[in-house]
Amino acid sequence: MSEQIFVDRVEEISILENKYKKDNAEFIVIYGRRRIGKSELIKHFLKGKNGVYFLAREESEKNQLKILSQKLSEFFKDEVLKKNPFSSWDAVFEYLAEKSSNRIIIALDEFPNLVAENHSLPSIFQDYWENKLKKTKIFIIVCGSSISMMEKEIFSHKSPLYGRRTAQLLLKPFNFRSVFNYLNKNLGKSFEEAVEFYAVFGGTPQYVMSINNKSIFDNIENILKPDSILFNDVEFLLRDELRKPRYYFSVLHSVAKGNTKLSDVINDTGLKRELVAKYLSVLSDLQFIKREVPVTENKLKSRKGVYVISDDFFRFWFRYVYPRKDEIQLDKSEVESEIKNSFAQYVSKTFEDVCKEALVILKERKQVLDFEKKGRWWYGDKEIDIVAFNEKNIVFAECKWKNNVDVKKVFEELKEKSKYLPQNKIKKYIIFAKSFKDKIEEEDLFLFDLKDLEALFKS
């Protein structure tokens, strides 16, 4: 991963640095799905510090301990350890407790691979942490890609390590602002192009780094090559995380097609209600999908929930690649034609997310009313792309991934729909679009085309 895109992990690095400056023992958990940049974050943090990075592979415990012994012997210049590697995890933690009178970082990457070989490891770790390690200056980082395994082995109430961590970092994909800055600075992509690329590749660092300086459709063509990593990567990630992935694939494909309600997914897949509810719940826990309700309603109590795929690359893959994998391997021309014909409509959903980010920037710069909550709102056949509000203020916004938008028409429609929401607040209206046919001046109306948005995100 290049330095340019990595520097956007400012918040995560800041948390680690602040913990590192303290003298007390730290047990930090870093997790998130594969390709998200966990290992790069750890390596970046380790630069210029006393520490050992150990990537646990899927191999026997004996080999795992042998490799860790080699790394520690090199770090501590310990010839005895080099010739006599650890034979148990008890020996590892005993050794580290003796060596941690000064600040030292021990990073155990892909921790679930270690647990898979020794199910007692969390219990052994707990024992040494409670009785020896937490009295030292050790800085332990435990990292894992399998969210379900990390939840089970560290975050679960039943885990021996529950409540022992001193901090946890869930790494998520980069937001649009980070991806735009990278694409603009490194590949010269315009704001419009960046929105299109973000709609396809999302914010996963490894996917973003695969983008070349050709057009969006040339890059999509690379995804559709059967020998491409991206052609099979979503399937690989899900099979790595789920025991019976085929039904989950059906549910994700259904949601990607636009079946966002529970009942619609049931009818589309033919699966039983209790099974679909279970699969949606698991996928939500693993952050592959998310449940949305009208922003004005209580998420736990509302019955108007809809499901959307969280990551844009997953959304693209399940909409266009998954249902036609066999066909693509023979002739991908029809799939490419389908993508081009529906692409503007597909990107429009991502554009709404970009506009939500823009609204946050506008709030930070105090260019619009302050707000605490933001999100989509709908009631019957009425829908507003973004409603943002607090006790005093409310902002209504529409996002149009179109050129030559008729401002007056959209503004009138937005005001009409806004009547269904609280009226006892200070109101502002925003229209985001690729471009406008004409602009009108209204005291409570703000207009942002792509040039305005580019300037906003660059600032």
For 371-422, how does the pLDDT look when each residue is reduced to its tens digit (9 = 90+)?
Answer: 999 999 999 999 999 999 999 999 999 999 999 999 999 999 999 999 999 8
Phi-psi region of 149 (alpha: psi -120 to 50; beta: other; left: phi over 0): alpha
pLDDT at 3: 46
pLDDT at 145: 80
For 66-100, how does the pLDDT look when each residue is reduced to its tens digit (9 = 90+)?
Answer: 999 999 999 999 999 999 999 999 999 999 999 99
CATH number of 353-458: 3.40.190, 1.10.10, 3.40.50, 3.40.1350?
3.40.1350
Ranges under pLDDT 50 in the chain: 1-4
pLDDT at 211: 96
pLDDT at 158: 81
Phi, psi of 395 (to 5 degrees): -120, 130
pTM for this predicted structure? 0.89
Sheet holding 167-170, edge to edge: 51-55, 104-109, 138-144, 26-31, 167-170
What is the C-alpha separation between 246 and 242, in angstroms, rounded? 9
Domain boundaries of the chain, sorted by first residue: 3-170, 176-349, 353-458
Q: Which CATH class is domain 176-349?
A: mainly alpha
Residue 280 burial (CB count, 10 A): 21
CATH number of 3-170: 3.40.50.300, 3.40.50.920, 3.30.360.10, 3.40.50.2000?
3.40.50.300
Q: How far is CA 318 from CA 12, 44, 231, 256, in A?
A: 30, 33, 11, 6
Q: What is the 3-state secondary structure (H, E, C) of 38-102?
A: HHHHHHHHHCCCCEEEEECCCCCHHHHHHHHHHHHHHHHCCHHHHHCCCCCHHHHHHHHHHHCCC
Query: Residue type at 204?
Result: T
